[in-house]
Chain A
Amino acid sequence: MKCYIRNMSAISPQPTFATDSFLSSVVVPSADEKCLKAIEPDYKVCIKEAGLRRRMSHVIKMGVASALNCVEGANGTLPDAIITATGLGCLADTEKFLQSIIDNDERLLNPTSFIQSTFNTIGGQVALLLKCPCYNFTYVHRGFSFESALLDAMMQLEDGDASNVLVGGIDEVTDTEFRVMERMGFWRSGAKMGEGAQFFLLSSQPTSQDVAQITSLRTFLASASDGTEVESFLDSCGLTIKDIDCVLLGESGDAKMDATLLSWKESLPAGKMQATFKHLCGEYQTASSFGVWCAANLLRYQTVPDALCPVGKAEGLRRILVFNSYRNNNCSLFLLEKIDR
């Protein structure tokens, strides 16, 4: 069940949007900076419809701009399925709407923030702007949201229900969310909160312009882990860890929350190339989409930038394993491979 990444786009706390370079320059947050906010493009350029744009909140603009950029760069290929993933959806609009309920004693509620607060707003807006009234689905599966969306996309392609699928992971940071999660004990032990919008246009058939291929993915819960999931995943792909050129890890920086991932990391053969990505994008439910974006770029550019903190060596980059973990609960594995030209 493999698919080809025709094009991709990322809006993240790094200069990743509409650029030909891959993390050649990065924004390094200070030690006491606990929240990584996305570097936003000029939305007037990306989303030309002023009437739609003026009602869009931060996360909608991020998602829509990233999705449109992804499709625009695919030489006219339009998706026949649009699948979005989000952990918390349009949070700022939801907060605004709920606050308005409290402030106005459940009366006089503004329609705009209500309309825009639903989880599937981004998928809907993308469909409207691309004029693609096709299969449109949004996954809100906490730390497995992007994984569920990608699995759906791969099955759509595998079953022939779609030839080109636009799939993306989007989440935003809000001050309220940060404060609430901080009170729950998050962000105290090294992890930083983050946000972003990564979109991928996936195809069932390869072309000469594809970035990379996604060969397989698997999810598992850390609580049910017996420590053999990675080997079992690779075995199902006919591989062992020796066949992997680089392991890209989604370490949040909080050792307790990364326990399952770190435990497996210790078993890696000496010298195996490893790199990490979450110090660049921060921790959020769909951060794995940033990991997949990085892995695909590693295969495209055939180099591991210093920004990903590489350790070990690899002779060429042919296969990359992404291991992401969210709050030591949701663990996911993605296998990406270079496309032979």
Chain B
Amino acid sequence: MEELISNLKVQLVESLNLEDVTPADIDTEAPLFGDGGLGLDSIDALEIIILLEKHYGLHVADPKEGKNIFYSVRTLAEYITANQK
């Protein structure tokens, strides 16, 4: 799990082009969207959907699931672990 979290942070910084943010700066538990975390927006959500499909072969079919899956790096990692074949 820790290795997956570490990889996810690198991939997020890269695919979202986060300026002045290193993977080490990302709090695993902090919210990705809105205040108090990385402050990502709806376009970033689309980029994360692509990231999950491209790197982990996972397709988020139900948009309602997204809010919980995309809450933090940890929830993303848990979703990947639970669903990756």
Chain A residues with a Cβ under 8 A of chain B: 44, 50-51, 53-55, 104, 108-112, 115
Return the CB mask of B5-44 against A: 1 if under 8 Å, else 0.
Answer: 0000000000111111000000000000000000101010
In the complex formed, the residue of A with least CB distance to B40 is A51
Give the A-B contact count at a CB cut-off of 8 A. 28
Return the CB mask of B43-79 against A: 1 if under 8 Å, else 0.
Answer: 1001100100110000000000000000000000000
Chain B residues with a Cβ under 8 A of chain A: 15-20, 39, 41, 43, 46-47, 50, 53-54
Smallest CB–CB gap between A118 and chain B, Å?
Answer: 14
Contact residues in A for B20 (Cβ distance below 8 Å): 50
Report whether A50 and B54 are in contact in the complex, using a CB–CB cutoff of 8 Å: no
Complex CA gap A54/B41 in Å reads 12
Smallest CB–CB gap between A153 and chain B, Å?
Answer: 31
Report whether B19 and A111 are in contact in the complex, using a CB–CB cutoff of 8 Å: no
Contact residues in A for B18 (Cβ distance below 8 Å): 54
Complex CA gap A181/B70 in Å reads 44
Report whether B19 and A112 are in contact in the complex, using a CB–CB cutoff of 8 Å: no
Report whether B47 and A54 are in contact in the complex, using a CB–CB cutoff of 8 Å: no
Complex CA gap A110/B15 in Å reads 9
Smallest CB–CB gap between A131 and chain B, Å?
Answer: 19
In the complex formed, the residue of A with least CB distance to B44 is A112
* Contact pick for B54, options A53, A55, A104, A115, CB 8 Å: A104
Complex CA gap A212/B54 in Å reads 54
| Given known contacts A104-B54, A108-B53, A54 and B46 CB-to-CB distance under 8 angstroms | no
Contact residues in A for B47 (Cβ distance below 8 Å): 110-112
Complex CA gap A104/B46 in Å reads 16
Complex CA gap A108/B52 in Å reads 10
Complex CA gap A223/B8 in Å reads 57
Complex CA gap A26/B54 in Å reads 46
Smallest CB–CB gap between B53 and chain A, Å?
Answer: 6
